Amino acid sequence: GAGVSQSPSNKVTEKGKDVELRCDPISGHTALYWYRQSLGQGLEFLIYFQGNSAPDKSGLPSDRFSAERTGGSVSTLTIQRTQQEDSAVYLCASRGGGNTGELFFGEGSRLTVL
């Protein structure tokens, strides 16, 4: 696609439910990142995939959070047993294999846990 696509754009769920957020990166981009942004705050790193290497999961806040990237393309971020503090915008970004270092961001998935 032309850009990074994320779905859903908005998700409202009840506390305790599981949610899945999807990211479709730019075709051919080898690196994929997930960040979390709370209202009016900066970006909190969650996880980073680079090609076939083991992902850097150092930013996942708890074992309720997990992510996978199938076939080196689409990624799914799963939050189990959601809590109210999980409410935030979840941003996905991808980066090509060149030397620019530039990340291309999607529009984000806004999660609200009631």
Partner 1 sequence: SQQGEEDPQALSIQEGENATMNCSYKTSINNLQWYRQNSGRGLVHLILIRSNEREKHSGRLRVTLDTSKKSSSLLITASRAADTASYFCATAAGGTSYGKLTFGQGTILTVHP
Separation of alpha carbons 21 and 82, rounded Å:
13
| Residue 59 or 80 with smaller CB distance to partner 1 | 59
Separation of alpha carbons 110 and 101, rounded Å:
26
Write each residue from 80 to 99 as x if it is in contact with partner 1 (CB under 8 A), else as -, in one continuous string.
-----------x-x-x---x
Please name the amino acid found at residue 47: I
Position 100 contacts partner 1 (CB under 8 A): yes
Number of residues that bind partner 1 (CB under 8 A): 26
Separation of alpha carbons 35 and 14, rounded Å:
22
| Residue 58 or 84 with smaller CB distance to partner 1 | 58
Q: Is the peptide bond before 25 cis (omega within 30 degrees of 0)?
A: no
For residues 8-27, which are near partner 1 according to CB under 8 A? none
For the bound state, the minimum distance from the C-beta of residue 48 to partner 1, rounded and expressed in Å, comes to 5
By CB under 8 A, name the one of 34, 35, 65, 90 that touches partner 1: 35
In the numeric block, which tokens belong to residue 25?
């990166």
Write each residue from 43 to 82 as x if it is in contact with partner 1 (CB under 8 A), else as -, in one continuous string.
x-x--x-x-----x-xx-----------------------
Phi, psi angle pair for 84, to nearest 5°: -60, -35
Is residue 6 a contact partner of residue 104, using CB atoms and an 8 Å limit? no
